[in-house]
Structure 1
Amino acid sequence: MIIDVHGHAGPWFFSTDVGSAELNLALMDRYGIDRQIVSASEAVTYDMVSGNRWLAEVLDTHPRLLGYVVVNPNDLGTAARELEKYQPGGRFVGVKVHTTYPDRPLLSAEVRDALGLAAEAGLPVLVHTWDETVLGLVDVLERFPDLRVIAGHMGGPAWRAAVEAARRHERLYLEPCCSITDRGRFRYALDRVPLGQLLFGTDSTLVDPAIALGVVLEDGLTDEQYDHVMWRNAAALFGLAGEPDPGA
């Protein structure tokens, strides 16, 4: 059983031939991924309102996909309305906050307030992390007692700092999808972070899921570790009842 907590739907401006949600499903089938939680590429890179609206339509017809409401820290008023609009439907189960495309550093006041909106909504938030500022998420989590944060990419090149941050706070989760595939990176986390704080993500369809699968599976997980990392922890964090139905 596999739940992918870091997926994307829709086209990117990179030179990659991705776009339709059918590609998400085809890659899920190829690699045995049962459910995938996705954000709209358009919402991340350009317009959160039109991107979230498009994704809502996709989710209505693709039950194996679940959604992140994308929140742009540059427009928190609109972001709050987006959360109010989509949260009651049940198909959106988390919040996505990027830092690069809105051009707001991870520890900026704008990103902090965006994370606060996720805390108020009671939803886990996947945030882009790519340097040692990931350590600052510990203080943000202390500020918002209801906040639960997934450090997307496990800090990227700063994966040791991300591991240290997760050691310091039980509401900080790590997922390893990354274009940086340092050997032993996931084992380093597995040996130091409580098992319940480790998740599986792929960055599909921007990145082929084979990369994240290789990063995790090369480290020889026990059956218990595999079950928790690959789906049990995600099911608990996002409130997904029971085991995913591969035929859904």
Structure 2
Amino acid sequence: MIRIVFFWVGQDVTTPSFLVKSAKLLHGNDAEIIQLTDQETPEIAGVTHIVRNRLSKNLMVARLEAYASVEIGHEYTFFTDADLLFIEKLKLEDSSKRDILLIRRVNNILVNADFPEHYPEFVGKTFLDVMPLLFGAIAVRNARQFFADLLEICLRLPDRFHRWYGDQVSLFEAYKLNPTAFGFLDASVYQLPMNHVGVPEELRSLRRSGIQILHFKGRDHKKMMEPTYQNLLQVVNAPGPR
């Protein structure tokens, strides 16, 4: 059974609701979908389990605390951002057979060292210099202490990293300690950026090409999740070839 885990805190659960809808649409009852959250966030319809914890008020620490609370088994658990849509069943493909699968950052720009506050570590640095690994899609098996170790690294960082960037910075620090422990997933397959509404024909084409997950990063792009999901419904439910 596919195991999908996501973290979300806040009263507006519109974004993660489409992640869950798409996962249920593609996997039916063959997916265990776990919502990680605090004590106040509403439960999202369609999740298999909700795991509530008393979490730090700092977002990066809270996310790592929540991830560390998940029991890791011998099969992959897929930890995902909430602003993703599944357009095909999740099939993890990695020839390295490593227990931790990551996605490398593809695009590279200069980090704004003054956003959302001043980060002297980032002055004159690019994202590939300081955060070359994405946190939005990680598959883990067997490595039961992985997220607890990341949490420990994050807590040792300056407080500003507890509020922002701490997850990716901690991940890169862990990678540098033991790079051979990690395998990699294709970013275009498991986190293809989307900045528009996916129409049915485009979704059919993406599915035929092997794309499994779309990423709607940014406030404006998240608004495109619902109409894309509605078009995905047409594609998946249509008779004949999809």
TM-score if structure 1 supplies the norm length? 0.33
Larger Rg: 2
Greater strand share, 1 or 2?
A: 2
Q: Which has the higher contact order (CA 8 A, sep 6+)?
A: 2
